[in-house]
Amino acid sequence: MVRRMTVKQVAVTGASRGIGRAISELFLKNGWRVWALARTEASIEPLKAQGDVHFVAFDAANERSVLDAAHRLTTDAGHLTALVNNAGIALSAPLHRTSTEDFQRLMHINVTAPFMLTRELSGAMVKAGHGRIVNIASTAAQKGFKYTAAYCASKHALLGLTRSLALELAIRGVTVNAVSPGWTDTDMFTASVQRISESTGRSQDDARETLAKMNPLHRPIKPEEVAEVVYFLCASPGAAAITGADYVIDGGETV
Ligand SMILES: NC(=O)c1ccc[n+]([C@@H]2O[C@H](COP(=O)([O-])OP(=O)(O)OC[C@H]3O[C@@H](n4cnc5c(N)ncnc54)[C@H](OP(=O)(O)O)[C@@H]3O)[C@@H](O)[C@H]2O)c1
């Protein structure tokens, strides 16, 4: 049983790596307790070494696992100040090579799981009259990209969910916002570089440069840059009136 006190608490999905890890680290640095939702406890060991971290088993692809994680949080954490729906997967494939199973898997992990967690955890926020929910969307929620129909559909859906829930929960003191990064330097980016290199025969450096140059800054976004915006939305009194917003962090790629 975890001690309940006035410490601020955030639940972060996909806390093991990449953007979710950077978000978790920033909250820890600021003295928050982090409920790290991840598939394995081993994957959050490096995070645990940095502060007040509690592992919650969570597989976004599995409905039972999502409900169990929500139940554990409701029972053991009590009031969460913030929920960050970050866990996500990408898929790059032309339409004719995107199976219905692939499409449904992306929708489940990228949209259904955030929807379920928000439904299960926002009740306590509403009761407390305060809560901050942030969904990690993407530039793929702003516009279409070739060969990523399932990913784009899932991120557009996540943005729609964000906007609708923002309106529903505003009067209850709960804000719901999206943060939409462009290419960000994580394993997801590296996997895309490798895939482009393999499919085109170009070097990995070349593929990396091409993706980086989609961003007018000519570099990928840093996970820490995404974390700063998420932290502002969750922690700052200055963000109290911001809801239904979508903070695009893409160096100007989509303007
Ligand atoms: N990187 C980019 O360029 C970029 C751009 C725009 C938006 N985003 C979005 O940002 C979010 C984080 O991406 P990232 O770049 O940090 O990706 P990443 O480095 O590939 O990490 C993905 C995270 O999601 C978790 N995850 C994947 N499938 C899961 C499942 N079934 N159940 C639970 N957790 C699962 C992973 O956990 P494991 O360690 O267990 O695999 C990991 O923590 C995603 O929603 C992604 O769509 C990324």
Range of the domain at 74: 9-182+224-248
Q: Is the separation of the CB atoms in 13 and 20 below 8 Å? A: yes
pLDDT, residue 47, reads: 97
Is there a single domain that holds both residue 212 and residue 230? no
User: Rounded to the nearest whole angstrom, what is the distance from the C-alpha of residue 130 to the centroid of ligand 1?
Assistant: 27
Rounded Cα distance, 79 and 172, in Å? 15
pLDDT, residue 231, reads: 99
Is there a single domain that holds both residue 152 and residue 28? yes
Kindly tell me if the per-residue pLDDT of 179 is higher than 80: yes
What atom in ligand 1 is closest to the CA of residue 60?
32
Name the average pLDDT for the chain.
96
Is there a single domain that holds both residue 146 and residue 240? yes
Q: What is the dihedral of CA 66, 234, 175, 154, to 10 degrees?
A: -50
User: Rounded to the nearest whole angstrom, what is the distance from the C-alpha of residue 166 to the centroid of ligand 1?
Assistant: 23
pLDDT, residue 78, reads: 86
User: Rounded to the nearest whole angstrom, what is the distance from the C-alpha of residue 122 to the centroid of ligand 1?
Assistant: 22
Sequence-distant (≥ 6) Cβ neighbours of residue 174 within 8 angstroms: 122, 125, 126, 130, 131, 132, 133
Residue 1 lies in a domain: no
Is there a single domain that holds both residue 211 and residue 135? no
What atom in ligand 1 is closest to the CA of residue 192?
3
Rounded Cα distance, 10 and 81, in Å? 6
Residue 140 lies in a domain: yes
> Per residue in 207-222, pLDDT tens?
999 999 999 999 999 9
Rounded Cα distance, 130 and 124, in Å? 9
- Binding site membership of 184 for ligand 1 (Cβ less than 6 Å): yes
- Binding site membership of 131 for ligand 1 (Cβ less than 6 Å): no
Count the neighbouring beta carbons within 10 Å of the beta carbon of residue 76: 13
Is there a single domain that holds both residue 147 and residue 208? no
Is there a single domain that holds both residue 190 and residue 78? no
Residue 2 lies in a domain: no
Put simply, whether the predicted model's pTM sits higher than 0.75 gets the answer yes
> Per residue in 86-128, pLDDT tens?
999 999 999 999 999 999 999 999 999 999 999 999 999 999 9
What atom in ligand 1 is closest to the CA of residue 221?
3
> Per residue in 4-50, pLDDT tens?
558 999 999 999 999 999 999 999 999 999 999 999 999 999 999 99
Kindly tell me if the per-residue pLDDT of 2 is higher than 70: no
Rounded Cα distance, 93 and 150, in Å? 9
Is there a single domain that holds both residue 163 and residue 71? yes
Is there a single domain that holds both residue 205 and residue 171? no
Which pLDDT band, with edges at 50, 70 and 90, does 160 fall under?
A: very high
Active-site residue, 151 included: yes
pLDDT, residue 5, reads: 54
Residue 106 lies in a domain: yes
Is there a single domain that holds both residue 85 and residue 101? yes
Rounded Cα distance, 114 and 134, in Å? 10
Sequence-distant (≥ 6) Cβ neighbours of residue 218 within 8 angstroms: 212
CATH of the domain at 109: 3.40.50.720
The protein residue whose alpha carbon is closest to atom 2 in ligand 1 is 184
Kindly tell me if the per-residue pLDDT of 3 is higher than 90: no
